[in-house]
Structure 1
Amino acid sequence: MDTPDTLIDLIRHGEPEGGKKYRGQTDDPLTERGWQQMWTAVGGHRPWRRIVSSPLSRCAAFAHALAGEMGLEAATDPRLMEVGYGPWSGRTTDEIRAEEPDAMAAFLRDPWSNRPVGAEDMERFTARVLAAYEEHRSGDDGPLLIVAHAGVLRTVIAHNLGMPLENLFHLQIPYAGRARFHAPDGRLRLTHLAARPPER
């Protein structure tokens, strides 16, 4: 049960090396700009007592750096990795469209149902993400920060708002985008969604 003290922040990684592509579980590190985006996004007010991250370097490297500055230890959880794109991993839309135009068109129409052959099933992906989320949010050690990927943030936001998970692709999360859930009256509410730190 949530209390008035419940505070859960989610942050997407910053810009990774390699440009825009279906990165999935490809382990690209952050660019220098990506690091700057992350530090800007967390701002100076850092209320967290717990930091949990995807183990992929574009999330985990920053999570450990932030935790070190705060005198904390960041935990990593493989269930918070981005959805796997199978053979599309690391490839751009144009590259895929040139080789598989019908599959790309179907995916863009309905990315939940029309997965690339060999990609991770969305039901399996959302189930693992939400299992990790519920486990970590159940702790009573104070405010929680989760550092993860766009797909992970979409899943948790849709879940917390009672949206059909099939609609999670309607949520656009920019690099270093943040979401805050707070329970001022004992009911979890989305109180912030932006690419900048929330007001205190």
Structure 2
Amino acid sequence: MTAPGETQILIDLIRHGEPAGGLRYRGSGVDDPLTPEGRRQMWEAVGGRAHPGGPWDRIVSSPLQRCRAFAEELAGCLNLPLELEPALREVGFGAWEGRSHEDVRRNSPDEYRAFFQDPLHARPRGAEPLEDFRGRVSQALERLETRHCGEHLLVVTHGGVIRAAVCVALDMPLQTMYRIRVPYAGLTRLRRDERGLQVDFVNRIRV
């Protein structure tokens, strides 16, 4: 039994760094490796090649290579356990997978505008429903809390996952999800205590 005000779990979510291929819709169907700049962004965000242990008890990662490769390297450097959580992969963008942002804006202007006006209902053809996406992110967070109560986790994941996690923590409507900007290697912290799941900070650039 935790004492009043005692933290039950800390979850630091970090977005992957810049991937190869430029600005394009890469959800769960397109997986590019990080560029050298992307790797630099990640190492800078976690304070460089820190001493073994660091501030975390374990590292959890999306299975996609733009997250997993760095997570494996960091876990080895810090001598921390690493686990992969498939439910923390990025949302699926369907027919937009692999298309550049400029291509969609220029060649599918009506779909592009509709998506940002109503991302819940105006999904790209074949895209993962946003309710399903938030559901799997919420369930993944619950599993982490159950398995790793009392720990401080670093979760290497995607911008969409971080947006969904903030929506879960703050009970925000899904229509507002894409109003949250998440930069490459941006850090967001969730905390669970007797008051429930809370957001400590969003988009910090370094631990």
Q: TM-score, normalised by structure 1?
A: 0.90
Aligned-partner Cα distance in 2 for 1:113–1:134: 26
**Residue ranges of structure 2 left out of the alignment (5+ in a row):** none
Given that 1:3 and 1:187 are in contact with CA atoms closer than 8 Å, whether structure 2 keeps it comes out as no
Corresponding residue for residue 171 of structure 1? 180
5 Å-filtered alignment, 1:70-81, equals 70-81=78-89
Deviation (angstroms), 1:107: 1.2
Q: Which of 64, 75, 95 is equivalent to 1:87?
A: 95
C-alpha change, 1:93 and 1:49, in structure 2 (3 Å) is same
Deviation (angstroms), 1:171: 0.7
Q: C-alpha root-mean-square deviation of aligned residues, in Å?
A: 2.1
C-alpha change, 1:192 and 1:101, in structure 2 (3 Å) is closer
5 Å-filtered alignment, 1:12-161, equals 12-25=15-28, 26-43=30-47, 44=50, 46-138=54-146, 139-140=148-149, 142-161=151-170
Given that 2:71 and 2:82 are in contact with CA atoms closer than 8 Å, whether structure 1 keeps it comes out as yes
Calculate percent identity across the aligned residue pairs. 45
Given that 2:9 and 2:150 are in contact with CA atoms closer than 8 Å, whether structure 1 keeps it comes out as no
Q: Deviating runs (4+, > 6 A) in structure 1?
A: none
What is the aligned residue count? 198
Given that 2:58 and 2:82 are in contact with CA atoms closer than 8 Å, whether structure 1 keeps it comes out as yes
C-alpha change, 1:189 and 1:128, in structure 2 (3 Å) is closer
C-alpha change, 1:72 and 1:176, in structure 2 (3 Å) is same
C-alpha change, 1:154 and 1:136, in structure 2 (3 Å) is same
**Residue ranges of structure 1 left out of the alignment (5+ in a row):** none
Given that 1:12 and 1:153 are in contact with CA atoms closer than 8 Å, whether structure 2 keeps it comes out as yes
Given that 1:64 and 1:73 are in contact with CA atoms closer than 8 Å, whether structure 2 keeps it comes out as no
Give CA deviations for 1:77-114 in whole Å, capped at 9, x if unaligned.
11111011112101012222444332222112222221
- Greater CA deviation, 182-191 or 32-41? 182-191
